[in-house]
Amino acid sequence: MLKSVDICDQSILITGGTGSFGKAFVRAVLDHCPKIKRLVVYSRDELKQFEMQQEFPQDQYPALRFFIGDVRDPGRLARAMEGIDTVVHAAALKQVPAAEYNPFEFIKTNVMGAQNVIEACLDKGVRRVVALSTDKAAAPINLYGATKLCSDKLFIAANNFRGDRDLRFSVVRYGNVMGSRGSVIPFFMNKAKTGVLPITDKAMTRFNIPLEEGVEIVFWALEHALGGEILVPKIPSYRIGDLAEAIGPNCKKEIVGIRPGEKLHEEMITSSDSPNTIELSNYFAILGSGFTSNKSSYLEALKARPVQPGFAYESGSNPEFLSVNQIRNLIKTHIDPEFQPI
């Protein structure tokens, strides 16, 4: 079995480091590893980098570096990865309607950008790589999901080119992140002030994960993943109707219908994935083709077990659902301590 890695001994780079996940990851790394060698925030937004620099001043966080760059730029990525041990790839374009209108822009960032990250990691001696994915990458019906599926495939296949180096590429896939920019909860919280909540379908369901838990699974993957797998956390679902009730019980609920590119229920593991899916205590792992003939060694290494044939992990059939009160408590805990239903 390959040994786990202590990330506190590493130099780490995060792409998309000024986004919702990026900021939470940076804070968690600095809290967990106050003497980390180097932590590089790689993003294209100079204003967000400036704002982060105020939150994490250089005199208090001397290991933190800010690198302006785009994942579309392979030369800049290569320069940024000099001396880097670990890469977390969080940069992406992710708004579904924008992807339908601007498809090739999403391809350039989410697919070609992913390959640029991979090649820079291969060329610069990086040892651990974890890329973030989305439930929309499982059986995608919109362009955003299709680009993330391509990205997942690229990162898993990158393990084929590592040779005899101790280099691992893994993917973490999860559902809606509470409070992230452009997500449904802050959208509903703002809309509730108008007295009307637009609802696609009351029966629509989504997976739910707090930002902090999303960071935790990336930490786990960096330390324990063997490379070539898509890790999926076991997380609860909610119904859009319950979410609306939790945020705006006195608001008018206006049914607007499902938008192009949306599903009634999201999947993270399809039944077609079941032959290559294993179950751990807190996660599932979809094994890449490199593990087809070596599945037993993975099961033994991580004390896992195969799932049943035809198994699927879908938000609508998830055994764990959040109640209205649980949703309200999570909003207070993870988004706004002063939150009150309207």
Report the catalytic residues. Answer: 136
Q: Which amino acid is at 108?
A: K
Which residues are registered as beta bridge partners of 232?
Answer: 284
Contact between 229 and 173 (Cβ < 8 Å):
no
For residue 174, give the H/E element and its range.
strand 168-174
Contact 77, 69 (CB under 8 A): yes
Q: How far is CA 334 from CA 17, 242, 337, in A?
A: 20, 18, 8
DSSP assignment string, 91-131: -----HHHHHHSHHHHIIIIIIHHHHHHHHHHHTT--EEEE
Query: What's at 5, amino acid-wise?
Result: V
Nearest to 85 by CA among 27, 30, 13: 13
Backbone torsions φ then ψ of 317, nearest 5 degrees:
-110, 10
Residue found by looking up tokens 């902090």 in the block:
212
For residue 123, how many C-alpha atoms fall within 13 Å in the half-sphere facing its CB? 14
